[in-house]
């Protein structure tokens, strides 16, 4: 366990050195947050001040929490593992005295920790000053929301890892990554709340792990879903962690058996 803590801490320190990129990310997140907020405010205004349970204040909270979670969850996916598979460098990872998935999960947590503090919270504070946000009425929403956030990061990590592990069988995974990112951003509730979906699309979304990555932590942290109602949603997140962890482990095991590295 100390090894994984050290890996997470190293990943945190590594990303903390990119100060200019962090500042640029905060600026970009804030601008896109304002654009998204204006669109949602217009939709709610056209609906008479409330749309499927969302008021203007709740929509603002939804937008800015979504912008805060965008970086730590890495909603646009990663390609590091797939590139290491294609280049044969994954053989080095498999020889390390650590679990392959544990190694990258520790890196993910360290990276997510910095991205949340450096690129997530500042846009949230900016949004709170510019548009205001709705604070949760029940203080239990905060610890439950933080637990939900950790589970959301874990679910996103495992799903993204499965996309990367497809590199064991695919010569190029960029197309798969693009499709995954598009579907994830839609069905996770990042673009619009999933309760705004038509019934048929809402049913599809809830049958996938994607709402557990964005919609659930937002609803829990914001208090839009009370703590007692949030507990089943957190249970769904835990279930998806178990399912995706097993699937990722199975893909890794099958990929390792088919791995063949040539050269010196």
pLDDT tens by residue, 207-218: 999 999 999 999
Q: What is the mean pLDDT of residues 172-178?
A: 88
Q: How confident is the model at residue 93 (pLDDT cuts 50, 70, 90)?
A: confident
Q: What is the mean pLDDT of the chain?
A: 90
Structure tokens at 246: 């097993």
Q: How far apart are CA 160 and CA 174, in angstroms?
A: 12
Q: What is the mean pLDDT of residues 167-185?
A: 90
Burial of 164 (0-12, 13-18, 19+ CB in 10 A): buried
Structure tokens at 120: 């997530």
User: Which DSSP symbol is given to 168?
Assistant: G
Burial of 96 (0-12, 13-18, 19+ CB in 10 A): exposed
Burial of 167 (0-12, 13-18, 19+ CB in 10 A): buried
pLDDT tops 50 at residue 58: yes
pLDDT tops 60 at residue 262: no
Structure tokens at 185: 């951003």
Give the H/E segment covering residue 118.
none
Q: Which residue has the tokens 């178990």?
A: 242
pLDDT tops 60 at residue 115: yes
Q: What is the mean pLDDT of residues 180-207?
A: 93
Q: Report the pLDDT value the prediction gives residue 257, as an integer from 0 to 100.
A: 82
pLDDT tops 70 at residue 142: yes
Q: Report the pLDDT value the prediction gives residue 19, as an integer from 0 to 100.
A: 85
Q: What is the maximum alpha-carbon separation in the chain?
A: 68
pTM of this prediction? 0.93
Structure tokens at 176: 């798969």
CA 86 to mean position of chain CA atoms: 25
Q: What is the mean pLDDT of residues 124-150?
A: 91
Q: Report the pLDDT value the prediction gives residue 261, as an integer from 0 to 100.
A: 56
Which of 2-16, 136-150, 206-220 bottoms out in mean pLDDT, i.e. has the lowest?
2-16
Q: Report the pLDDT value the prediction gives residue 264, as an integer from 0 to 100.
A: 43
Q: How confident is the model at residue 172 (pLDDT cuts 50, 70, 90)?
A: confident
How many C-beta neighbours within 10 Å does residue 79 have? 15
pLDDT tops 70 at residue 259: no
pLDDT tens column, 59-90 = 999 999 999 998 899 888 888 889 988 888 88
Q: What is the mean pLDDT of residues 125-137?
A: 89
**Quick one: the chain helix, strand, coil %, rounded to 5?**
75, 0, 25
- Is 62:237 a contact under the CB 8 Å cutoff? no
For 176-204, give one letter per residue: b (16+ CB within 10 A) or e. bbeebbeebbbbbbbebbbebbeeeeeeb
User: Which DSSP symbol is given to 54?
Assistant: B
Which of the pair, 9 or 77, is modelled with greater confidence?
9
pLDDT tops 50 at residue 47: yes
Structure tokens at 138: 């029940």
Q: How far apart are CA 221 and CA 139, in angstroms?
A: 10
């Amino acid at each position: 366990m100390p090894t994984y803590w050290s890996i997470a801490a190293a990943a945190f320190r590594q990303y903390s050195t990119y100060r200019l990129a962090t500042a640029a990310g905060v600026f970009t997140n804030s601008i896109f947050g304002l654009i998204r907020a204006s669109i949602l405010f217009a939709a709610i205004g056209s609906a008479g001040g409330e749309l499927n349970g969302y008021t203007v204040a709740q929509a603002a909270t939804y937008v800015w929490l979504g912008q805060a979670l965008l970086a730590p969850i890495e909603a646009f996916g990663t390609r590091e593992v797939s590139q290491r598979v294609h280049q044969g460098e994954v053989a080095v990872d498999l020889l390390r005295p650590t679990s392959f998935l544990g190694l990258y999960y520790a890196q993910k947590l360290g990276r997510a920790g910095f991205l949340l503090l450096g690129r997530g919270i500042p846009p949230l504070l900016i949004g709170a000053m510019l548009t205001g946000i709705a604070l949760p009425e029940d203080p239990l929403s905060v610890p439950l929301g933080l637990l939900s956030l950790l589970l959301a990061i874990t679910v996103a990590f495992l799903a993204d890892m499965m996309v990367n592990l497809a590199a064991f069988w695919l010569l190029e995974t960029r197309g798969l990554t693009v499709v995954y990112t598009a579907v994830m951003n839609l069905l996770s509730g990042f673009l619009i709340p999933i309760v705004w979906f038509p019934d048929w699309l809402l049913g599809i979304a809830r049958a996938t792990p994607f709402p557990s990555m964005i919609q659930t932590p937002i609803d829990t942290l914001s208090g839009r879903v009370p703590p007692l109602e949030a507990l089943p949603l957190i249970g769904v997140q835990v279930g998806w962690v178990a399912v995706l962890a097993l699937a990722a482990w199975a893909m890794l095991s099958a990929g390792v058996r088919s791995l063949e590295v040539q050269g010196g």
